[in-house]
Amino acid sequence: MSTKIKIINDPVYGFINMPQATNYRIVEHPWFQRLRQIRQLGLAFLVYPGATHTRFQHVLGANHLTNLAINVIRSKGFFINEDEANAVCAAILLHDIGHGPFSHALENVLIENIKHETISEIFIERINKEFDGELSLAIEIFKNQYKKNFLHQLISSQLDMDRLDYLKRDSFFTGVSEGVIGSDRIINMLNVIDDKLVVEEKGIYSIEKFLIARRLMYWQVYLHKTVLAAEQMLIHIIKRAKELINNNYSLQMPPALFNFFKNKYSENDFRNEPEVLKQFAKLDDNDLLSYIKLWADCNDEVLSQLCSRFVNRQLLKIEMQNSKFDENKIEKYLNNASKKLNISKDDAKYFVFTDFATNNAYNATDDHINILFKSGEIKDITDASDMLNLQTLSKNVVKYFFCYPEECRV
Amino acid sequence: MSTKIKIINDPVYGFINMPQATNYRIVEHPWFQRLRQIRQLGLAFLVYPGATHTRFQHVLGANHLTNLAINVIRSKGFFINEDEANAVCAAILLHDIGHGPFSHALENVLIENIKHETISEIFIERINKEFDGELSLAIEIFKNQYKKNFLHQLISSQLDMDRLDYLKRDSFFTGVSEGVIGSDRIINMLNVIDDKLVVEEKGIYSIEKFLIARRLMYWQVYLHKTVLAAEQMLIHIIKRAKELINNNYSLQMPPALFNFFKNKYSENDFRNEPEVLKQFAKLDDNDLLSYIKLWADCNDEVLSQLCSRFVNRQLLKIEMQNSKFDENKIEKYLNNASKKLNISKDDAKYFVFTDFATNNAYNATDDHINILFKSGEIKDITDASDMLNLQTLSKNVVKYFFCYPEECRV
Amino acid sequence: MSTKIKIINDPVYGFINMPQATNYRIVEHPWFQRLRQIRQLGLAFLVYPGATHTRFQHVLGANHLTNLAINVIRSKGFFINEDEANAVCAAILLHDIGHGPFSHALENVLIENIKHETISEIFIERINKEFDGELSLAIEIFKNQYKKNFLHQLISSQLDMDRLDYLKRDSFFTGVSEGVIGSDRIINMLNVIDDKLVVEEKGIYSIEKFLIARRLMYWQVYLHKTVLAAEQMLIHIIKRAKELINNNYSLQMPPALFNFFKNKYSENDFRNEPEVLKQFAKLDDNDLLSYIKLWADCNDEVLSQLCSRFVNRQLLKIEMQNSKFDENKIEKYLNNASKKLNISKDDAKYFVFTDFATNNAYNATDDHINILFKSGEIKDITDASDMLNLQTLSKNVVKYFFCYPEECRV
Amino acid sequence: MSTKIKIINDPVYGFINMPQATNYRIVEHPWFQRLRQIRQLGLAFLVYPGATHTRFQHVLGANHLTNLAINVIRSKGFFINEDEANAVCAAILLHDIGHGPFSHALENVLIENIKHETISEIFIERINKEFDGELSLAIEIFKNQYKKNFLHQLISSQLDMDRLDYLKRDSFFTGVSEGVIGSDRIINMLNVIDDKLVVEEKGIYSIEKFLIARRLMYWQVYLHKTVLAAEQMLIHIIKRAKELINNNYSLQMPPALFNFFKNKYSENDFRNEPEVLKQFAKLDDNDLLSYIKLWADCNDEVLSQLCSRFVNRQLLKIEMQNSKFDENKIEKYLNNASKKLNISKDDAKYFVFTDFATNNAYNATDDHINILFKSGEIKDITDASDMLNLQTLSKNVVKYFFCYPEECRV
């Protein structure tokens, strides 16, 4: 008698409805379920204990916002048919399916030279085959090949539903209340002009706030120095483990992981060899967290040390500054680490290293956040706002960091 | 057996404790109870229906934050004795007691040329007499005459507990979530250097966010154009009523209001004639809202029209722009209004008028928000932050507005 | 190009949309705007300072929930056409329009023997005339004369949108978090069987929680002893003022109030004499709060004392118990009050009095909350729940109270 | 210059301070850090995606509430010295340290016949040695051997800080808002009489609400049928894996897990052989989640099937009822499963099985929640409350469940 509506309890938005049949099949797919095991914020939970939320929650939330946005846009007189609505929702549900263990933290480390967006795309195409082409329109929109450009913008642009959800969700779970954004308000101010998403004039302050919040979340959470130190340790653990494997050192690990350590798969391999994607789909956060505990007991001094510090949260010290670190300082620390840890200077580079992190909260060259004035005029937010700093926001900020074991400080 | 602790339920912070005996006597004082009848945000409830919160709630909230701040500062090694703690709390509780009906909206209108801070001070001194000098230290702190300057800063500075509470509370009750600030975080980052409040380096982003939120609340709430239009109508109602009273027109009103309409009391009158303050203490929002309904039925066409539009929320139209409005345009509207409303052109000025509103979220010339770096260095937030716009923030923004009855548009 | 959607910021639910044209006209009506000046919880703000929210906010919130419920019911396969949807929403918007100053506190006191529901109905019929019959369907639903009975249940039943909103809203503004209910969840579990609202089996715990929360809010807020004491004082103020007026004592008050003090209007008068309703529409909380300050200075000792205690929140003491208070005790207190306050014993009854308050959170004789089991079976919640206490809940609880001035305690 | 205070961002309470030095050392201990990898609610995240919060967060939260409670009790005139305060806080921080992977779900399955409380105690004693006896007082309190009994009640009783935190936290992360409790209010109502915690009369409704909320969380979350089905699958996976290991079947797993599968350690082994505890401390949720993916590819049909269904969230169907399931029905399902899955009937018992779950929200025989009346009288909450159902609450509710693969339904 009553149609089944799938309802999900979400701590951020309350109840979430997922009415479309196709989309529910997506959620049930094992590859999608895997996202339950991939934390949204990698290792941020080591600083913000609440931040154990997953990609699974995030894409459901982004799907919810997309539904809201579709309703708003329809209410302003734009026709979006049911197939299009389902397809955008499918696309947003699947946009992160290509993430590997610890999301961004290990991007380009576990699998080199292939971005998660590319892997997402390959996953979607594979599922589309299983679904007999039901996702073809979603793929067109995902790749921005569909005529209605603004539908793509909903899933990928400066103001997409992805960002609206993750800022709100990450603020919520980290407890960093300053990151809270008015996603409701922004969505209600959306409109479409010349096939582009625009924000109505009344939403200017909300957009300013959104950009500032994003910047704040970058420095306070995403690039928090302790989080960075932990991620760098994880990266160096993976690098060392790979090196050992490729030197035929025996290290307990799941076959799928061994596979990716041993072989450098290209994008083409991912596209053309179904087994590669299948293996990739077997990996999640749990594997690394579980095996790193084992590796802490291995014979390789470097890997064992790195892993045992990581497991016990005895993280490397990290310094951050706006300019490069002095070569002499690094040299001195390396020498000291080699001596103190009783390892070669080359091996010491797993403990003493420098690199940089960057963010730009608004990228004006990329695409634009357009403000629609009552007069009909459209301006980029950096022109529309009388806060000059938005131009500052659009500049890359680069921060250099330098890591070392506390006891090796010189 | 158990000591009485006064607990108050606050929707914003949950439970609030008020442990100090003196302060509880303050809260019970009739002059303090009057603050229950003065809305924090004047007429903003006409746009944000939830914004019916009062000065009473605000000062209790600010008192709560002050208690938190005292604990934080003490925990960082600064001695604040019980008398000082009580005195700061008393001062923050009483800092707004001089507000009249509709707070800022009618400041300088009902009582001309006397700021609410001055009236607060006079109230406090009067209560101090009743309390046999118990508030003398609070008064010293309030007037910034006490040796520990940072105590005064807690109740009045760029980063005082007043602002922290009102931004948070006003966001909460208006439902404008973008205004939410991390008061907890800011308070935890407070420290004292050379007798001045400073914010530790880690709090920079929170301060940036606080300043941006303040700016946003200004334009989205405090100076929202519809709120402005309503306030301007209220101001013109008071002006007209005063004019009528001073021309011996008979208008029903409470004696206290009549008193202030008829007499121009000076600051000295407030200080020296107890009856003046007592009369002032009899006025609150309810009087104006009640009598304006009566005045809507009076014989004076101007007052009756203004009041009836106000009561029925048929507000004047308002236009806002960055430059002054064209004299010719104003002239045309005035003439049209005079004709359409069948009143003299002088009377039309009650319906057609221009003025300006201003805000500056951060006033660098006034006092400073100082950031304490780990190195020990102290910088003003505008230097410490790499967001140039803070300098923009510290510039006055002036917006001109122009009001008129919709039917008189030319 | 874009249709106008009316969006309102609500602290409880975030954004609220009001899409229907008729309903927006209702909101703009002066009689509806009056609800901005009537507090939802009468004098509860004297105990819970945040509880200054108004009937205006409540009916907008209830309207929002009704919209949600309509969507849920439609999604379960029940047809509700646009006219019906608009009409239910109009009915819920208008269901409280008959409330006078301080809502329930003065019901049957200011206007005797007419319930606010009746006055609401008369208001709606009057507005329907103005709107040329646009509200006729809303009236049918309001009076439960429309064929689809469940539409009436949405606006008036054990589980109507009125209760869902007020419990949630009152919890929110008082800060009594225990009253929070899962309105989202309950609404999502709604279904219709045989033209009656039912709740699907999965919602049993939410309903239990809702009933418990309601009971808790009764005793913790609605019938809080201090709130009760304040309301009783207000009631006695009105009674005394009426008595004085009817004895031709001169007392400053607005003509509308004088009118209702002087005349006992019947339901028929309200129905047939437009002027009566119009006068009623001129009254709101502000009038009483404003004039009571004046009456505190009047010559009548009883009224003056009552008003001055009320204004300064020097409330009568109140005792509560499960049985009637002893006649002898009352007698003693009356005699003492007469002596202490230097008034006649008859007048002392304005200060020393007893009465009772009652609540039943669930009224099984009235209508039912029906639970729909997967098997198709339907049971009353008191049978469906294995918590016997729901039967307890449905019993009337009566609490007797006794008020007196503290200094007259014997 | 400024003392270091450890501040943690908690999504539930905002900022949490952890001032005591000893306690910070506890948090840094690797055994404590392990709690970051043990979900608070086991597999509930399969139904409530947000419920990925960990034991780590919970004990920090419980520690925070304990600090609040200590302040409240002190403010009511009871002396608690700094050592005692530190010790209670240490005890609450450590009370859950004995939990193994998936907390309650695998209790008595992974390690048979030893409760997590016992393992906690052994952990604490071991850490106490490392800390040179710093935790001796904490241990006395933990074991209820310290003279001030109410300190033990704060960490273990019907109304301990453990329950106050987990109810609030679990509600928060599942998004089941009906479970929200007023922990603030309850804590503020705490008092001590005759060395026992009591709740002041005004807190009765909050306690009723707390007990109801607990019951609701049991049935809606902790014993949610789908969660139960998932947990039962996990239990059967472990059982099968153990069986295989003990039959010398080779199965990839970490040495620590192998150890516990192969050996049945007694409480004495845990107490006396340091290596046993150390091995136990190496296990967390990640291991099971990681290896179950591998086992899905093993040769044992039963284990492989169970694991693969579990990983892909193709859970067993579950039926629940108040009475035992019919033997004949079970027999039929077993036979059918044996045929359909092509396994022996004995093996079919891994897929088709029945058992029961139980809860009692209030255990009157255990210890009591005592209400302190103003008269000085003390009553058990079941007597103090006029809601008979509290007596119902204290009865055990037993629900029988029956699991089977959907395709084996007869």
Segment C38-48, tens digit of pLDDT: 999 999 999 99
> Which of B28, B46, B290 faces C286 most closely, judged by CB atoms?
B290
Residue A393 has pLDDT above 70, yes or no: no
Residue C66's pLDDT is 96
Residue A389 has pLDDT above 80, yes or no: no
**Residue B2, pLDDT score:** 36
Give the CA angle between residues A228, A34, A115 to the nearest 5°.
50
Per-residue pLDDT, averaged over B134-153, amounts to 96
Count Cβ neighbours within 10 Å for each residue of B244-262 and write b for 16 or more, e otherwise: bbeeeeebebbebbebbbe
Tell how strand D14-18 and strand A397-404 pair up.
Answer: unpaired
Q: Which residues of C touch D387 (CB under 8 A)?
A: 215, 389, 392-393
> Which one, of B154, B144, B147, B141, lies nearest residue B183 by Cα?
B154
What residues of chain C lie within 8 A of the CB of B60, using their CB?
Answer: 49
Start-end ranges of CATH 1.20.1250.30 in chain A? 225-357+402-408
SS3 B404: strand
Flag if A75 and C5 touch (Cβ within 8 Å). yes
Query: What is the CATH architecture of D6-223+371-394?
Result: Orthogonal Bundle (1.10)
Which residues in chain A touch residue B216, judged by CB atoms under 8 angstroms apart?
Answer: 205, 208-209
* Chain C residues closer than 8 Å to A14 by CB: 184
For residues D165 and D65, the answer to whether their CB atoms sit within 8 Å is yes
Tokens describing residue A144: 């921005």
The pLDDT assigned to A286 comes to: 98
Distance from CA of C181 to the nearest CA of D (A): 6
CB pairs under 8 A between A and C: 34
All partners of chain D with 3 or more CB pairs under 8 angstroms: A, B, C
| Helical (H) or strand (E) element with A345 | helix A345-348
Q: pLDDT at position B1, please?
A: 32
- Complex-level ipTM: 0.93
pLDDT tens, A343-372?
999 999 999 999 998 876 565 556 678 999
Mean pLDDT on A43-63? 96
Q: Which residue has the higher pLDDT, D152 or A19?
A: D152
Q: Which residues of A touch D (CB under 8 A)?
A: 8-12, 14, 28, 30, 33, 36-37, 45-46, 48-50, 52-54, 56-57, 60, 172-177, 254-255, 282, 284-287, 289-291, 293-294, 311-313
Per-residue model confidence as pLDDT tens digits over C342-389: 999 999 999 999 999 887 655 555 667 899 998 899 988 878 876 645
Nearest Cα to Cα of residue D40 among D238, D226, D285, D212:
D285
The pLDDT value given to residue B365 = 56
E strand intervals along A87-195: 190-193
- At residue A74, the pLDDT reads 92
Q: Is the pLDDT confidence value at B23 over 90?
A: no
pLDDT digits (tens, 9 = 90+) for D219-241: 889 989 999 999 999 999 999 99
Kindly determine whether residue C11 and residue B174, on different chains, have CB atoms separated by under 8 Å.
yes
- Residue D279 is predicted with a pLDDT of 96
Q: Are the CB atoms for D372 and D189 separated by under 8 Å?
A: no
**% of chain B beyond a pLDDT of 90:** 74
The CATH number that domain A225-357+402-408 falls under is: 1.20.1250.30
Q: Which CATH class is domain B225-265+283-357+402-408?
A: mainly alpha
Half-sphere exposure of B191 (CA within 13 A, CB side): 23
Q: Say yes or no to pLDDT of D388 above 50.
A: no
Domain C6-223: give its CATH superfamily: Hypothetical protein af1432 (1.10.3210.10)
Nearest CA in chain A to B394: A387
Average pLDDT over residues D164-171: 95
Decide if D171 contacts D117 (C-beta within 8 A): no
A387:B389 CB<8 A: yes
Q: Which is nearest to D297 in space by CA: A277, A270, A254, A259? A: A254
Chains that touch C (3 or more CB pairs under 8 A): A, B, D
Kindly report the nearest CA distance between residue A255 and chain C, in angstroms.
43
Question: For residue A43, is pLDDT > 60?
Answer: yes
Mean pLDDT across the stretch B258-285? 95
How far from the centroid of its chain's Cα atoms is residue C285's Cα?
A: 14
Instruction: State yes or no: pLDDT of A261 exceeds 50.
Output: yes
Chain C residues contacting A, CB < 8 Å? 1-3, 5, 7, 14-15, 19, 75-77, 184-185, 188, 191
Distance from CA of C216 to the nearest CA of D (A): 6
3-state helix, strand, coil in chain C (%, to 5): 55, 10, 35
- Who's near A293: CB < 8 A, 6+ residues apart? A307, A311, D254, D282, D287
Residues of A in contact with C5 (CB under 8 A): 75-76, 188
Q: Report residue C1's pLDDT band, with 50, 70 and 90 as the boundaries.
A: very low
Query: Cβ D5–B184 below 8 Å, yes or no?
Result: no
Q: Which residues of C touch B46 (CB under 8 A)?
A: 36
For the entire predicted model, the pTM comes to: 0.90
Candidate from C182, C220, C397 with C-beta closest to D177: C182
Whole-angstrom distance, CA of residue A405 vs CA of residue A336: 10
* Cα Rg of chain D, angstroms: 23
Strand partners, B190: B199
Residues 6+ away with beta carbon under 8 Å from D330: D352, D354, D402
Alpha-carbon distances of D196 from D66, D73, D147, D188, D208, rounded to whole Å: 16, 12, 11, 16, 19
Residue intervals of chain A classified under CATH 1.10.3210.10 are: 6-223+364-394
Strands across the sheet containing D370-372 = D190-193, D196-200, D370-372, D378-380
What percentage of residues in chain A have a pLDDT greater than 70?
Answer: 94
Tell me if A121 sits within 8 A of A142, measured CB to CB.
yes
Which residue ranges does chain B devote to CATH 1.20.1250.30?
A: 225-265+283-357+402-408
Instruction: Over range D119-148, report the average pLDDT.
Output: 96
Chain A nearest-CA residue for B206 = A178
Q: What is the pLDDT of residues B87-129, one digit of tens each?
A: 999 999 999 999 999 988 898 899 988 999 999 999 999 999 9
| Residue A228 in this model has a pLDDT that exceeds 80 | yes
Calculate the alpha carbon distances from C251 to A36, C254, C296 in Å. 71, 10, 11
Which pLDDT score, from 0 to 100, does residue B85 have?
95
pLDDT of residue C101: 96
Portion of chain B with pLDDT greater than 70, in percent: 94
In DSSP notation, C257-303 reads HHHHHH----HHHHHH-HHHHHHHTT--HHHHHHHHHHHTTSS-HHH
Delimiting residues of CATH 1.10.3210.10 domain(s) in chain C: 6-223
Average pLDDT, chain B: 91
The pLDDT value given to residue D337: 97
The band of D1, judged by pLDDT with boundaries at 50, 70 and 90, is very low
Cβ neighbours of residue A39 closer than 8 Å, sequence gap 6 or more:
A45, A51, A52, A53, A54, A55, A102, A103, A285
Q: Which residue has the higher pLDDT, C337 or B8?
A: C337
Nearest-by-CA chain D residue for C387: D389
Q: What's the CATH number for B6-223+367-394?
A: 1.10.3210.10
Structure tokens at A275: 């087994």
Between B315 and B23, residue with greater pLDDT: B315
Q: Half-sphere exposure of residue B13, counting CA atoms within 13 Å on the CB side?
A: 27
Interatomic CA distance for residues C35 and C94, integer angstroms: 10
Residues of chain C with CATH 1.20.1250.30: 225-313
Residue D360: predicted pLDDT: 61
What is the structure's pLDDT at A133? Answer: 96
What's chain D's average pLDDT?
Answer: 91
pLDDT tens, position by position, C159-201: 899 999 999 999 999 998 877 788 888 999 999 999 999 999 9
Query: Which of B391, A295, A114, B179 has the alpha carbon at shortest distance from C9?
Result: B179
Q: Which amino acid is at C371?
A: I
Question: Quick one: fold of C225-313?
Answer: Growth Hormone; Chain: A; (1.20.1250)
CATH architecture of D225-314: Up-down Bundle (1.20)
Which pLDDT score is estimated for C393?
Answer: 66
Domain boundaries for CATH 1.20.1250.30 within chain D: 225-314
Task: Find chain A residues with C-beta within 8 A of C191's C-beta.
Answer: 2
pLDDT digits (tens, 9 = 90+) for C143-159: 999 999 999 999 999 88
- pLDDT for residue D3 is more than 50: no
- E strand or H helix at D226, and its extent? helix D225-246
Q: Which chain C residues are within 8 Å of A188, Cβ to Cβ?
A: 5, 7, 15
β pairing state of D378-380 and D370-372: antiparallel
Q: Which pLDDT score is estimated for C392? A: 66
Q: In whole angstroms, what is the distance from residue D47 CA to residue D42 CA?
A: 11
pLDDT tens per residue, range D38-89: 999 999 999 999 999 999 999 999 999 999 999 999 988 899 999 999 999 9
Matching CATH number, A6-223+364-394, of 1.20.120.80, 3.40.50.80, 3.40.50.720, 1.10.3210.10: 1.10.3210.10
Q: Are B12 and B169 in contact (CB under 8 A)?
A: yes
User: Is the pLDDT reported for residue B364 higher than 60?
Assistant: no
| DSSP SS3 for B132 | coil
* Residue C52 to residue B48, Cβ atoms within 8 A: no
The DSSP secondary-structure symbol of C405 reads -
The DSSP letter of residue B298 is: S
Q: pLDDT band at residue B204, thresholds of 50, 70 and 90?
A: confident
Q: Among D182, D212, D389, select the one facing C209 at the smallest CB separation.
A: D212
Residue D222 has what DSSP assignment?
Answer: I
| Token output for A287 | 């594997």
Report, as an integer, the average pLDDT of B129-141: 96
Region D99-106: mean pLDDT is 92
State chain C's mean pLDDT as an integer. Answer: 91
Interface probe for A, chosen from C1, C2, C197, C200 (most Cβ of A below 10 Å), is: C2
- pLDDT value of position B362: 60
The 3-state DSSP composition of chain D as helix, strand, coil percent (nearest 5) reads 55, 10, 35
Give the residue among A151, A172, A145 at the shortest CA–CA distance from A58.
A172
CB contact under 8 A, D15 and B185: yes
CB contact (8 A) between residue B1 and residue D76: yes
pLDDT, residue A177, reads 80
Beta-bridge partner residues of C200: C372
3-state helix, strand, coil in chain B (%, to 5): 55, 10, 35
- Going by the DSSP 8-state scheme, the letter that residue C379 receives in this structure is E
Domain with CATH 1.10.3210.10 in chain D: 6-223+371-394
Average pLDDT of span D321-345? 96
3-state secondary structure C178-201: HHCCCHHHHHHCEEEECCEEEEEH
Least confident of A140-144, B72-76, C228-232, D93-97: B72-76
According to the model, what pLDDT value does residue D118 have? 95
Report pLDDT for A17.
78
Across the interface, of D11, D287, D289, the residue whose CB is closest to A175 is D11
Contact residues for D27 (Cβ-Cβ < 8 A; gap 6+): D6, D18, D33, D60, D93
Structure tokens at D220: 């809606």
More confident residue, C97 or B208: C97
User: D184 falls in which pLDDT band (50, 70, 90)?
Assistant: confident
Mean pLDDT confidence for D134-143: 96
Per CB-CB distance under 8 Å, the chain C contacts of B282 are: 293
Dihedral pair phi/psi, residue D199, rounded to 5°:
-115, 130
